[in-house]
């Protein structure tokens, strides 16, 4: 009798547990859009939904907290300024970037190369120059590096040039500054950029990522104090501007990659992690 009672008791417990489990809702499986993979400050990899198709990269710890992709519509008005004529393209903004209140915002641009070349002669020239640069990597760097997006300003110098390969493409990274008038090198305007092409030539990839060097002034204001080891800018004799930028280039090239904020090491790692396969 005791044995039968024990058996009935055990069966009752099992049925109770099954009933509890059956009463729980099924685990939901979210179907998300293609993603941009990022590495969070805790080194855990999370996924951020995007409107692009298969564009992925990893954000090193401390560089930014996330990414926001956007699909930029085409602007094809022939009467628009040359820098405003472009096909539809992908723009990815880095959220929570380590540097704030800089002139340039941290962004990655993914342009359909053939379409851009067809609608904008300036872009066609830049893409051709990039193709030539990548085909002749042992040649001296050009006086002006290929660069997009198109700016209504001039490239006043470039330094720290290095070819980098990402998951499905190649390009060159460098530090630079653009201006419309004589202006000193400074941390408000200085930025790291990567310019390159996917291996199949379908996409031109550009990254603009602000960067600081300890010897530069906070901005280009004549009244802003210059660090003790900074390079003075002669506001009274603009013929000395080339000499200013030459000294700045030398100091930037001599700076330890990890002494920049953010470090060149982290910025290079982000670029090298990219996988570009999407379309606008």
Is 32's pLDDT higher than 90?
no
Break the chain into its structural domains and give their ranges: 63-272
pLDDT recorded at residue 58: 93
Give 228-279 pLDDT, tens digit per residue. Answer: 999 999 999 999 999 999 999 999 999 999 999 999 999 999 999 999 986 6
Cβ atoms of 89 and 109 within 8 Å: the answer is yes
Q: Three-class SS of residue 197? A: strand
Q: Name the residue with tokens 């710890």.
A: 61
Token pair of 181, please?
């008038």
Give 59-77 pLDDT, tens digit per residue. Answer: 999 999 999 999 999 999 9
Distance of CA 6 to the CA centre of its chain: 67
Is this model's pTM higher than 0.85 or not?
no
Token pair of 194, please?
């990567």
Is 280's pLDDT higher than 90?
no
Is 46's pLDDT higher than 60?
no
Q: Which residues contact 121 (CB under 8 A, 6 or more apart)?
A: 82
Give the whole-angstrom CA distance, residue 148 versus residue 127.
9
């Amino acid at each position: 009798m005791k044995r039968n009672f024990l058996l009935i008791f055990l069966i009752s417990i099992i049925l109770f547990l099954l009933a509890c489990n059956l009463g729980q809702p099924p685990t939901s499986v979210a179907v998300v859009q293609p993603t941009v993979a990022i590495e969070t400050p805790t080194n855990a990899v999370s996924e951020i939904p995007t409107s692009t198709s298969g564009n992925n990269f990893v954000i090193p710890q401390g560089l930014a907290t996330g990414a926001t992709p956007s699909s930029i519509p085409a602007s094809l008005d022939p009467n628009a300024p040359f820098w405003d004529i472009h096909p539809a393209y992908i723009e990815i903004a880095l959220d929570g970037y380590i540097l704030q209140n800089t002139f340039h915002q941290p962004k990655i641009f993914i342009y359909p190369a053939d379409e851009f070349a067809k609608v904008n002669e300036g872009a066609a020239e830049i893409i051709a120059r990039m193709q030539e640069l990548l085909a002749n990597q042992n040649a001296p760097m050009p006086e002006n590096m290929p660069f997009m997006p198109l700016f209504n300003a001039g490239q006043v110098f470039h330094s720290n040039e290095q070819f980098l390969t990402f998951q499905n493409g190649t390009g060159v990274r460098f530090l630079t500054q653009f201006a419309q008038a004589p202006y000193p090198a400074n941390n408000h305007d200085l930025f790291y950029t990567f310019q390159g092409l996917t291996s199949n030539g379908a996409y031109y990839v550009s990254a603009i990522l602000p960067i600081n060097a300890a010897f530069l002034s906070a901005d280009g204001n004549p009244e802003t104090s210059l660090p003790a080891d900074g390079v003075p800018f002669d506001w009274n004799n603009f013929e000395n501007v080339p000499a200013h930028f030459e000294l700045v280039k030398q100091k930037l090239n001599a700076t330890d990659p990890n002494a920049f904020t953010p470090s060149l090491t982290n910025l290079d790692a982000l670029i090298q992690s990219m996988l570009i396969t999407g379309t606008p």
